[in-house]
Amino acid sequence: MNARLKECLRLGYTSVLVPEGVRGDLPGLRLVPIRNVLEASSLVAYPAE
């Protein structure tokens, strides 16, 4: 997972949806934990930011 997160950062992403329980600390990358696909689709369809 760490390699994938580093690649997201390299590609310019600032936020990434990750399964709940995944931990990471990459400066410049905000991890958004999700529990299921419904929660993910809700966040994508109606972003808070």
Q: What is the rounded (10 degree) CA torsion for 13, 48, 30, 17?
A: -70
DSSP state of 15: E
Res. 35 pLDDT band, cuts 50 70 90: very high
Res 49: pLDDT: 64
| pLDDT value of position 47 | 76
Q: Can you tell me the mean pLDDT for 1-28?
A: 93
Instruction: Parse the chain into domains and list their residue ranges.
Output: 2-45
Average pLDDT over residues 16-45: 92
**What's 10's DSSP letter?**
H
Catalogue the long-range contacts made by 11-17 (C-beta closer than 8 Å, 24 or more residues apart). 17/43, 17/44
- For residues 5 and 12, give the distance between their C-alpha atoms in angstroms, rounded to a whole number: 11
Q: How far apart are the first and last CA of the chain?
A: 25
